[in-house]
């Protein structure tokens, strides 16, 4: 299957660094708000390089099983996580949700809700970009 091209929104920080917002769900190793170094090649194309400042946000993806991953099911999941200070977006084509978990969210409660949903078979979880604080919240 060929995925449609998705472009993150880029916010210039300085001429050679951009902040990544609206990260596509399939990008690995970067989170919303991370600042990346850029390089320009001989043709003027900008390429992302290393992360120069982490946002400390975590990226978590859910495949929603409840009600066949319907729009209403995805929205109810987004609403539940929003109450915990987590933003996200649903992707109808894939029956998925991408969550952007900021460091200010109650990570233990977010992890508990994620684990509960897996146990109830409402969704499956894949961690994209996580922090040591996120990992520690899962062991408490």
pLDDT tens string 60-90:
889 999 888 889 999 999 999 999 999 888 8
Mean pLDDT along residues 6-28: 58
How far is it, in rounded angstroms, from Cα 15 to Cα 11? Answer: 11
Q: What is the pLDDT of residue 124?
A: 94
End-to-end Cα distance, the chain: 39
Per mean pLDDT, which range of 5-9, 78-82, 89-93 is the poorest? 5-9
Q: How many residues does the chain have?
A: 140
CB neighbourhood size of 74 (10 A) = 23
Mean pLDDT along residues 85-101: 86
Contact by Cβ (8 Å): 33, 19 = yes
State both tokens at 44. 């003027």
Instruction: Convert the pLDDT of each residue in 22-70 to its tens digit.
Output: 655 555 566 666 667 777 778 877 777 777 776 777 888 899 998 888 8
Sequence-separated (6 or more) residues with CB below 8 Å from residue 106: 84, 85
Give the confidence band of 16 by pLDDT, cuts at 50, 70, 90: low
Per mean pLDDT, which range of 10-14, 46-50, 126-130, 131-135 is the poorest? 10-14
Mean pLDDT, rounded, of the chain: 79
């Amino acid at each position: 299957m060929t995925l449609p091209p998705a472009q993150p929104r880029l916010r210039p920080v300085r001429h050679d660094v951009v902040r990544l917002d609206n990260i596509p769900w399939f990008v690995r190793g970067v989170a919303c708000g991370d600042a990346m170094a850029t390089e320009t090649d001989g043709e003027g194309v900008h390429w992302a390089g290393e992360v120069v400042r982490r946002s400390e946000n975590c990226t978590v993806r859910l495949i929603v099983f409840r009600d066949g991953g319907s729009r209403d099911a995805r929205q109810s999941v987004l609403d539940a996580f929003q109450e915990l200070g987590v933003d996200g977006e649903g992707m109808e084509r894939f029956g998925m949700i991408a969550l952007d978990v900021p460091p200010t969210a109650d990570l233990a409660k977010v992890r508990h809700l994620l684990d509960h949903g897996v146990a109830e078979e409402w969704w499956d979880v894949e961690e994209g970009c996580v922090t040591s604080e996120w990992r520690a919240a899962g062991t408490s």
